[in-house]
Chain A
């Protein structure tokens, strides 16, 4: 049901979400397949634990890994935010968006710390 309300003008929002969603999608399309390749190789016993750690600790892989996690969290955050904007119409909207933002932020910090702080 359409609600009638005052036109409050434009919030000058949305463009950055739309743009980041697309940029992060490109990064994910380029990097995410390698995760599955790695899992596949591991499942076939093609890589020892030592070799895996050495691979993950290399600078290039750490940088790619960081990009992947940033793109993943940004993409997931905006995706969930858009869904909440679409379907949640009460005051819950702001609360839910905040919770998703904090959750995604914590996830990114935790994972990035695994990549950079506690490696070999």
Chain B
């Protein structure tokens, strides 16, 4: 069962293919990350999936419907470009966003107050948005995204502009929603967030999806790295080291051979290499991303945007 399914999705603007043949499946109840640098097509893809704009080619279903707007009451969406009515009170903003998704204003206000209390912002419920700090306003918008208890939450660059404390709060909220069975899909250009939160990711660059699967599957595309420190620098044991070995003084770095670590250890011991330390490191998502998307795309990732703390 998938919350979102897309097949051959294409969206182009004036000949430029912002989304180029995207195939995607987001399982129900998962936390799904869309990774890609700025301008990769993440926002356009999300807008197309949500029905804000129509695709030029391909099909997509949102919670089983090919007309996404009909599922509006079951979806919560936080756009990349945050925006609220400045003269509206915080609680009214949440109620208004709930009302857009079918909630009554009365219920929206009650739930809005409860959510604000829960987030420690109960005191600001009756303040106008213009009187709130940027972080508080973003929290209010987030409350408005979930006030109607959606089945699917879509967050476009949700960590952008948040300080470390609020990023941690947002991560906690995402986990809490997922624990309730809600599907959470978010886009980010910060790999660390996806690595901490997601079970599944899609990597997008230049409008194309280059990977879609479990985070562990992405990591498994790379062999673990071995870091070895020896007392001696030369001996017959050197013949057992793989061809890609890189030497740094008494340190040797290489990819774990297909044959595993045991034959290597035997050769090192028998050759009297004098093992001082040996560690096998599983590759991180960043390494997997570099391997999948390429160095140039990876170089565009993880660059902090204004006001962002990684």
Q: Do A and B assemble together?
A: no
**A residues neighboring B (CB under 8 Å):** none
